Amino acid sequence: MRLGINAMRLSGQRLGVGRYIEYMLRYWERFLQPSDSVTIYVREPFDKRTLNLSDAYTVKLLESSLGGVLWEHLALAPRHREMDVLFCPSYTMPLHYRGRCVVATHSVNEVQLGAHPWWYNLTYSQRNRLSARRADRVIVPSESTRHHVERIYGVAPGKIDLVVEGVPETFHPLKDSAQLQAVRRKYLGDDRPYVAFVGKLSQRRNIPALIEAFAMLKRRDNIPHSLLLFGPNILGLRLNELTDRFGVTGSVVQNDGILEKHDDIVPVFCAADLFVHPSAYEGFSITTVEAMACGVPVITVNRGAAKEITDGDAAIRVDEPAAASIAAAMRRGLFDQGLRASVRANALERVRAYSYVETARQTLDVCRRAAHV
C-alpha cells in the first residue's frame, strides 16, 4: 500500500492533532508490511529522524506561501497519483481530490452552543462537513462523535469507523519527589502545590469560569495552590484582568506549554494535585486521558466524550462547567482523600483501554480497506 498523510500540522507547536499525527507515524512502524510505503506531505521542513522513522517513510516538502486550505487544494491534491490512499488526520481533505481518502473527524464541537465563535459555523464547520461527506472512510474517536457525524454531517453510518484515541506508552505515574519538586519550581517559581489545566485556552474550555472557581476555593478554604494554565492563550484572554477581578493575582500562572518533546509533559501532570478540564464539549480529550494515565485525579464535564472516557467513576464530573460547580468539584478532589484514591485507581484501570499502539493499528487497517489493496 502506498499511503500518503497530510502532515501539515507537524509544523509549529504540536497540540492535539499535531501529536495525533506524530503518534500515528511513530506507531505505524510496528504494523507496516514490507511492500508498504508512507509519504509524509508537509508545508515546512520536517526531519523524520526526530521520530526515528525508517526508510518506509518518505518526507515530501510541498513548500508554499499559501494558507492551509489553499495548500491542500493547490499543492497536495495534484499528488493523488503518488498514493493508493490519502489519510487526512485533521478534519479536512482537498475537496476536489481525485484519489481515495480517509478523514479523521475528532469532534463536532459546533453541536454545543458557545463552543466556538459565531463565524465557526460559516467556515470550519462547512469544510469539516463537506470533507466527511466526500471521504471514502471517516474515522471518529468516540460514540458521541459518531452520532454527530451521522446526524449533523449526514454521513452514512456504513462509512464511519470508530477508532478511539489513546495515550503513549511513556505516560505513567512518577514517584520521584525531587523530580516533581523541580517541576513545581520551574513553572511556579517555588515549591507550591498546583491545580493544572493543559491545552489551548480556547473558547469552549471555559478558562474564565475555571479561574473564578479557583478564586472561590482560595477565598473559602485558603488553599496554598496555584492554578497552572499549561497551553497557548490563542484567544488572547486578558488573564491579568481576570485574576485581578477574582482576587487571585499571583496565583494563576500561564505557560505556552512549548516542550522539546511531548513526553516532557508527564512530570507536569504528575506534579499536579488535580487536573481540571471544564470543556463545554469534546469529541475526545487527549489531555484527559494523559492525566488519567499519570494518576492525577481529573475533574471534567459530564457530557460528550468526556463522559465516555471517564466511565466507571474514573473522574469527578460536573453537569455544567459553571464556576460554582467546578469549585465544589475541586474542593472534593483536594480534600476528600478517599475520593481521590478511588478516582485515581479507577482512572488507571480505565485508561488501559486507550492505547495509541492500538489506535495506530486500527487506523492503518481503515486506510488499507479504503485503498482496496
Q: List pLDDT tens digits, range 210-229.
A: 999 999 999 999 999 999 99
Q: What is the pTM of this model?
A: 0.91
Question: How far is the C-alpha of 88 from the C-alpha of 196, rounded, in Å?
Answer: 31
Residues 6+ apart with CB under 8 A from 231: 15, 197, 198, 199, 200, 201, 255, 256, 257
CATH of 2-166+355-371, one of 1.10.1740.10, 3.40.50.970, 3.40.50.2000, 1.10.10.1100: 3.40.50.2000
Would you tell me how many other CB atoms lie within 10 Å of the CB of residue 84? 19
Q: What's the pLDDT score for residue 116?
A: 57
**The three grid cell numbers given for residue 185, joined into one nine-digit string:** 519550581
Domain boundaries, the chain: 2-166+355-371, 177-353
pLDDT in tens, 235-294: 888 999 999 999 999 999 999 998 988 889 999 999 999 999 998 888 899 999 999 999
Q: What is the CATH number of domain 177-353?
A: 3.40.50.2000
DSSP string, 260-297: SSGGGGHHHHHT-SEEEE--S--S--HHHHHHHHTT--
Instruction: Tell me if 2-166+355-371 shares its fold with 177-353.
Output: yes
pLDDT at position 156 over 90: yes
pLDDT at position 373 over 60: no
pLDDT at position 121 over 90: no
pLDDT in tens, 61-120: 998 877 778 899 899 999 999 999 999 999 999 988 999 999 999 988 766 665 556 555
pLDDT at position 205 over 70: yes
